[in-house]
A and B are shown apart, each in its own frame.
Chain A
Amino acid sequence: MELLTLRKKVKSDNNTSSVMTTTNEIETTVEKKETSRVRMEARNLTIKYGTNVAVRNLSMPIYNEKVTALVGPSGCGKTTFLRSLNRMHDLTKSASITGEVLLDGNDIYDPKVNPVTIRRKIGMVFQKPTPFPTMSIYDNVVAGLKLVGIRDRKLLNEVCEIALTQAALFDEVKDRLNAPGGSLSGGQQQRLSIARALAIKPEVILMDEPTSSLDPKSTMKIEDLIVELKKKYSIVIVTHNLAQAARISDYSAFMYLGDLVEYGKTKKIFQNPEDKRTEEYLTGKFG
């Protein structure tokens, strides 16, 4: 009942202010008011490689303490979009970007903003586990802290334990923190990468197909971990695995050929997609 009145209210708001309205947008607006606040937001984001458009005029919010999944066929721009969210994208030489990406209302592409500080606030986990092979497990976890000049052993030990515990790895490695990071199994290495990202206390965590190189058991562990982590962090995850998106995400965005085709609550996207392309992709007709 309450929801209905709210929806009506939003509708009337939008009617007066000539903004394009779709039920989908109203839904998200409703949810924003209903549950959580917007942590990050992309506004009219266009990303090009040379003259090749990878992401076209994309706008979407990322909610706090929620998991947002980006799905779509290969080459749809989802990884490009993800990498634009913490300015990792800057490292690609031919790439150019227009539009805004807001973190708590501030544009991270503002010329005054240093990308290094952005990457400290928005952590990232990659497709392949990337422990630094010459460092011990311990040094891997605290690598980000040492970068900002923290040398206090007690503090480092504490953060290391907390990060490894959050990444559900501590019990497995607590007796060999000095062993090289490369000596762990693939799944453990990925959790180590997550612990390393958590150690610098990011506000948002971006994950680029974090389980695509892992076996089913490790995948399950990481998925449980993601669900656990969203209590504290906002998570954006790119995945090829639709079942995974359905299992762990609260919101889903379907991208196709650089366009954001559909965005909304995962349940809605999967059960009742509005766009034909979404439906066809989700039912396996292409992709």
Chain B
Amino acid sequence: MKDTTKEILERPLHGVYRWWGDKLFLTISVILGLSIIALAFAMAWVLFKESSLALNEFGVVGFLKGRVWDPGVNFVFGALPFLFGTMVTSVGALAIAFFPAIAIGIFVGEYAPKWLGAIIENLIHLIAAIPSVVVGIWGIFVFAPWMREKVYMPVFMWAADHAPSLLPIVGTPIGYGMTTATIILALMIIPYTTALTRDAIRQVPKEQREAAYALGATKWEVIRMAVLPYARGGILSGAILSFGRAIGETMAVAMLIGNKNTFPFSIFGPAATMPSVIINEFREAVGNLHLSSLMAIGLALFVISLIVNLIAAFIIRKYSITGGQAV
């Protein structure tokens, strides 16, 4: 046994092979690594170049502030309705999803017995993996009709009887609209926020929990004083990353939001978001200016996603805790 080991160790090294192997691997890794940077810049460049026609025509601020999107007659394009639609649906979705997601994360991480926690966690991952077009179909056939019957119509009828001045704000209760899209978006990001919350809670060291228990804390007090403060960075950045997903979500939103390009939007009535207008109009965009305007919206979406991701990274840096210290 000893002899064979010695023999192998004393064999001449396959110098050329090992040297080339190292070099080759290094080269491939470097090229692939750098290609990510190149890809990001290439995307930004193409978006920028293709959108320059529209941005020159209306000006960057003018385009973002423009309230009219008219590809049919006057060929005037402004992104404000879509910026507004995206922000309202995403912020609304995050507001709806945040606390339930954290509650589920806490339940899975702290309260549920192992087997139950594992089941819930796997189902969360499963729900997160459902293609958004499937969620959209479910929304069209089940959720939107149900909401129209049980929520929109009663509210609309009440408003018609008691407060007619509210009717323009409430909007036409067709079932497809901003509220439907927001709720569906919330359902879609709950799994992400939950999973990230769960991960953040998992990172909290046992010592922190025990320190709280040793002070005579109850289970909930331990979570409040030791677990959540320690995990806050992970939870917040998780919420922001989920928000980023909501901003970019296309298919389910396009299927359920009703796709109305003109301001003002109403609460139950149809609206549009940045991704939904791109996917709906891209194929039919014939004029160069129309196409370029859609590209400009794509560029804005790109920049917003970038900013959201940067904010998440900043929050992780600022609030995460390393080695027992708040950084």
Using a CB–CB cutoff of 8 Å, the interface residues on chain A facing chain B are 86, 88, 91, 116-117, 119-120, 123-124, 126, 128-135, 143-144, 147-148, 180, 182-183, 189, 193, 196-197, 200
A131-B324, A143-B225 known; A119 and B211 CB under 8 Å? Answer: no
Total B residues in contact with A, Cβ cutoff 8 Å: 23
Extra contacts besides A91-B209, A129-B324, A189-B324 (5): CB < 8 Å: A119-B213, A133-B325, A143-B225, A180-B325, A197-B215
Nearest CB on B from A251, distance (A): 23
In-complex Cβ contact of A182 among B217, B218, B326 (8 A): B326
Residue of B nearest to A129 (CB): B324
Residue of A nearest to B326 (CB): A133
Task: List residues of chain B with CB within 8 A of the CB of A196.
Answer: 211, 215
B229 on the interface (CB 8 Å rule)?
yes
Task: List residues of chain A with CB within 8 A of the CB of B215.
Answer: 119-120, 123, 143-144, 147, 196-197, 200
Residue of B nearest to A119 (CB): B216
In-complex Cβ contact of A144 among B208, B216, B321, B324 (8 A): B216
In-complex Cβ contact of B218 among A116, A130, A189 (8 A): A116
> C-beta contact mask, B187-219 vs A, less than 8 Å → 1, else 0?
000000000000000000001111111111110
- Which 5 pairs, one residue from A and one from B, show the smallest C-beta to C-beta distance? A182-B325, A120-B216, A130-B211, A124-B214, A144-B215
B230 on the interface (CB 8 Å rule)?
yes
> C-beta contact mask, B215-241 vs A, less than 8 Å → 1, else 0?
111100100011001101000000000
Task: List residues of chain A with CB within 8 A of the CB of B211.
Answer: 126, 130, 132, 193, 196
Task: List residues of chain A with CB within 8 A of the CB of B208.
Answer: 130, 132
CA distance A197 to B213 in the complex (A): 11
Interface-central residue, B207, B216, B326, by most chain A CB under 10 Å: B216
Q: Is the CB of B326 within 8 A of A91?
A: no
Residue of A nearest to B214 (CB): A124
Residue of A nearest to B216 (CB): A120
Q: Is the CB of B321 within 8 A of A147?
A: no
Task: List residues of chain B with CB within 8 A of the CB of A131.
Answer: 324
CA distance A116 to B219 in the complex (A): 9
Task: List residues of chain A with CB within 8 A of the CB of B212.
Answer: 132, 143
CA distance A86 to B215 in the complex (A): 11
Q: Is the CB of A180 within 8 A of B214?
A: no
CA distance A207 to B214 in the complex (A): 11
Interface-central residue, A124, A133, A180, by most chain B CB under 10 Å: A133
CA distance A239 to B214 in the complex (A): 19
Task: List residues of chain B with CB within 8 A of the CB of A200.
Answer: 215-216
A130-B207, A132-B211, A133-B230 known; A180 and B216 CB under 8 Å? Answer: no
CA distance A196 to B232 in the complex (A): 23
CA distance A144 to B211 in the complex (A): 10
Q: Is the CB of A148 within 8 A of B207?
A: no
CA distance A148 to B209 in the complex (A): 17
Task: List residues of chain B with CB within 8 A of the CB of A117.
Answer: 216
In-complex Cβ contact of B226 among A91, A119, A128, A132 (8 A): A132
Task: List residues of chain B with CB within 8 A of the CB of A86.
Answer: 214
Could you list some 12 contacts between A and B, CB below 8 A?
A: A119-B214, A119-B216, A123-B214, A123-B215, A126-B207, A132-B230, A133-B321, A133-B324, A134-B321, A180-B326, A182-B321, A183-B325
Task: List residues of chain A with CB within 8 A of the CB of B218.
Answer: 116
A126-B207, A134-B321 known; A197 and B214 CB under 8 Å? Answer: yes
Q: Is the CB of A91 within 8 A of B210?
A: yes
Q: Is the CB of B326 within 8 A of A134?
A: yes
Task: List residues of chain A with CB within 8 A of the CB of B221.
Answer: 147
Nearest CB on B from A237, distance (A): 15
Task: List residues of chain B with CB within 8 A of the CB of A119.
Answer: 213-216
Task: List residues of chain B with CB within 8 A of the CB of A135.
Answer: 229
CA distance A183 to B321 in the complex (A): 12
CA distance A116 to B218 in the complex (A): 6
Task: List residues of chain B with CB within 8 A of the CB of A130.
Answer: 207-208, 210-211, 324
Q: Is the CB of B232 within 8 A of A91?
A: no
Task: List residues of chain A with CB within 8 A of the CB of B230.
Answer: 132-134
Nearest CB on B from A12, distance (A): 44
Task: List residues of chain A with CB within 8 A of the CB of B229.
Answer: 132-135
Residue of B nearest to A83 (CB): B210
Nearest CB on B from A88, distance (A): 6
CA distance A183 to B215 in the complex (A): 21
Q: Is the CB of B216 within 8 A of A128?
A: no
Task: List residues of chain B with CB within 8 A of the CB of A124.
Answer: 210, 214
CA distance A91 to B222 in the complex (A): 12
CA distance A148 to B221 in the complex (A): 10
Task: List residues of chain B with CB within 8 A of the CB of A134.
Answer: 229-230, 232, 321, 326
Nearest CB on B from A162, distance (A): 17
CA distance A129 to B210 in the complex (A): 12
Task: List residues of chain A with CB within 8 A of the CB of B217.
Answer: 116, 147
Nearest CB on A from B218, distance (A): 6
